Amino acid sequence: MAPTTRSKTKAAATTRRLSSPSDPPTYRVDLSLPPEERYLEICADYKQHLVEIVPIYDALLQATGAPRLLNFLAKSLLRRVHSSEENKEIRGISKVTGVPLHLVVAFNTFLDLFSGCSSGGVRVTDAGNGRDNGIVHFRSLDWGMDPLRKLIICVDYVRDGQTVARAVTYAGYIGVLTGVRAGLSLSLNYRLRLASASPSSLMSHRLHQALLLLAFRPSIPSRLRSLLLSSSPPPSLAAIARDFPRTPSTPCYLTFCTPASVLVLEKDLISAVVQRSNDFLAVTNHDLGMEALDPDGWRDFVAQEVRPGIERDVLLDDSLERKECVSRMWVGANQGSKGKGKKRGLKVADVARQLEVQPVQNECTHFSCVMDPAVEGGGLIWVRSYEEAVEMECEEDEFNVSD
């Protein structure tokens, strides 16, 4: 979940939806075209919505705590991103839509600093390519900026006439927060890591942010895009776990899935806590170590981390609830098989249904999806977007495995 927190309510699980989810439109982005021409169709269809990026930009600046200073610096310094290819794409978007270049750059940069949600991987019995079982990647993206809801799209990335990857993203955004290709799927979650244990650590984080904004370093969505769109075979999870932690990045949680395994990185600037499983892993917006804290330890953590303007206790408590809720599908499937003589596995429909259970689905949810990295070109097998906020309910609903 992003820095804009929702009200602190003990909303128990419910599958009742009070908004009308929809399937976002799908666009082709042809990587064989010159970068400036790749997003012409998207820009034409979303020009008016992209013009409305200004209030989104203003809201993001307000979240930084120094909006006037950063606005001045943005107009003066936000002229490009790190990647030359992506920079040409951004210039093309700015030219076609008429949105000032620094705003398009800011939009594509600030989401590196503020993004969030629920992600993970789980073994199902009806995975793609006719497999009896395999890992699918589930993802629910929450964000406090309602204007972004109008920009949700799916993208098929095409090279030489062949689809090489798919993503759920925002029109005008060229990085990757949620994507899949054959052999690998990935997603990024916001990590509440704004305080530091030492002045030197804090300075290192601030230096990274400055280098990111000034285009001397790529954003983490840009690095994820490189993994997704590379013409080379995708790296193994072992290679990602070895190499990605020491790659400088904004603190975040990263989920990677192959057809057989799931990997979660609790990423700091140049390190990471690594989790891996062949069956199930989930991550929301809190560190794994926080789940073992007793009440006194929890209060000490909140007291140390509190910064004016952010209800961190609400945010972290909400994150724990969402992880517990999304984990029920795995726990329920295994407990439900006891005493019945046979083991019952999860299906893709079970995973999708749990993404629509509150509080995994909540008033900040923009979209949810299920991806299968075993599908050729990348399997974006279930997607729902929400043009309006979901109204929260408080009814219990136990998870049941499909027949």
Extents of the domains making up the chain: 26-384
| pLDDT score of 73 | 75
| pLDDT score of 107 | 87
User: Does residue 365 have a pLDDT over 80?
Assistant: yes
Helix (H) or strand (E) holding 212: helix 199-213
What are the backbone dihedrals phi and psi of residue 181, each rounded to the nearest 5 degrees, phi first? -135, 170
Q: Which of 235, 260, 233 is nearest to 131 (CA)?
A: 260
Q: Cα 90 to the chain's mean position, in Å? A: 21
Helix (H) or strand (E) holding 201: helix 199-213
User: Does residue 205 have a pLDDT over 80?
Assistant: yes
- Cα distance between residue 191 and residue 115, in whole Å: 8
Neighbours of 73 (CB within 10 A): 15
Can you state the angle between helices 53-64 and 67-77, rounded to 10 degrees? 120
- Cα distance between residue 85 and residue 386, in whole Å: 31
| pLDDT score of 12 | 33
Mean pLDDT of 283-312: 71
Enumerate helices (H) and strands (E) in the chain, giving the number of each: 11, 13
The pLDDT-based confidence of 354 (bands split at 50, 70, 90) is: very high
Classify strands 152-159 and 26-30 as parallel, antiparallel or unpaired: parallel
Residue 110 and residue 338 in contact, taking contact as beta carbons nearer than 8 Å:
no
User: Does residue 8 have a pLDDT over 50?
Assistant: no
| pLDDT score of 189 | 94
Mean pLDDT of 4-27: 54
- For 26-384, CATH gives 3.60.60
Can you state the angle between helices 84-97 and 101-110, rounded to 10 degrees? 130
| pLDDT score of 9 | 37
Helix/strand/coil percentages in the chain, nearest 5: 40, 20, 40
